[in-house]
Chain A
Amino acid sequence: MTRIAYCTSMSGQVRDMIAERGDLNVYRALAHAGRPFAGWMIAGRAALTSKVVPVRLRELVILRVGHLMKCPYEIAQHTPVAEDSGIGSRPLDALAADGRLADGGFTPTELTVLELTTELVTTATLTPARMDRARELLGDEQLLEVLMIISRWSGLALMINALDVDIDTGRHLSLPP
């Protein structure tokens, strides 16, 4: 059970930000933080609306981070988004921490990005060869956004795990237009 009460006294701006993203428990828990929370929501909106990283690749990375960080909440909320972006059950299974990425039917670019994600989240660093390969395939801007996605969702997993946020019943992450 979520370890703090959900925030009920928030500014109209924060309330609107949360409503736009589906009124999820994680937002209702973190909203106690006020302005830093609003800043974090603004950064998240940019991450979710940027078209630099295709939605499919973004969701693969988020789910892989969710598995590696042992965050069932992220997996629960992002699995439907991933499915909507065309990711089927075989790749979803392969993303599990004990799954085999090689069995996921991923493109070479996706596989490279998922291996990079795995190395970075589990060792907190990257071998130069992996970085060079990712740069060749993605280019600098897309690689930076991939790293920012890993950065945001790994940090978010810590927050969700610390607060032990209940998985939402009947509420789904809604993506800003």
Chain B
Amino acid sequence: MSRIPLTPVESLAPAARDFMRRRGELNVFRLLAGAPEVFDGWSTMVDAQLDSRTFGPRLRELVILRVAYLQHCAYEIAQHTDVGRHAGIGDAEIRALSAEGPVPGFTGPENTVLGFVDELCVTGTVTRETFAAARAVLDEAELTELLLLVSLYYGLALLLNAAEPDIDDDARLVTSP
């Protein structure tokens, strides 16, 4: 049960209501809507990341799920396991993303990106070599967008772990195709 009350959908301001109509009436959004001075800015950021076509949905969801597992965030894991499956991540791959230590079974740029994410989330930074490996498979726009994605879900996991909203029964995050 959420340690901070969730805002009822019917009490939402119009912009927040519109955001949730498009993205889903998720408990995380109803939680954060309790901070109306900053919610619209935050939801604009979420829209911009989820609408971006820089990464395919599969790579985006691999990154989100890995961050969620590293941060032990049951809420993010629950929501993004479904999104990840729809993006073509198989059950064995999803299990692999929960590994302690390096994630087994991925190759090429996916493996490089997951290694970068692991090192960044676990140590708070990356070595010159790890950075160079990521930069070799990502251009500057992709690399900075990867950082924004990790940053969003790493920080959000802290908030979710602190507030502990219930995992949604039916509501599911709507991501762009």
A residues lining the B interface (CB < 8 Å): 3-5, 7, 29-40, 42-47, 50-52, 69-71, 116, 120-121, 124-126, 128, 131-132, 135, 140-141, 143-145, 147-148, 150-159, 161-164
What is the minimal beta-carbon distance from A89 to any residue of chain B, in angstroms? Answer: 26
B114-155 interface (Cβ within 8 A of A) = 120-121, 124-126, 128, 131, 135, 140-141, 143-145, 147-152, 154-155
**Can you list 27 residue pairs at the A/B interface with Cβ under 8 Å?**
A3-B128, A4-B135, A5-B140, A30-B144, A31-B144, A32-B141, A32-B145, A33-B144, A33-B145, A33-B148, A37-B144, A39-B47, A40-B45, A43-B44, A47-B41, A50-B38, A124-B71, A144-B163, A147-B163, A150-B159, A154-B154, A158-B120, A158-B121, A158-B125, A158-B151, A162-B120, A164-B131
Asked whether B5 lies within 8 Å of A155 as measured between CB atoms, the reply is no
Evaluate contact between B4 and A120: CB separation under 8 angstroms: no
Verify A161–B45 contact, CB threshold 8 A.
no
Chain B interface mostly helix, strand, loop or mixed? helix
3 shortest interchain CB distances as A-B pairs? A39-B48, A46-B41, A155-B151
**Interface size for chain B: under 10, 10 to 19, 20 to 34, or 35 or more residues?**
35 or more
B93 within 8 Å of A by Cβ? no
A interface secondary structure, majority: helix
- Asked if A151 and B37 sit within 8 Å, CB to CB, the answer is no
Q: In the assembled complex, which residues on chain A have CB atoms less than 8 Å from the CB atom of B151?
A: 40, 155-156, 158-159
Bound complex: CA of A40 vs CA of B3, how far in Å? Answer: 27
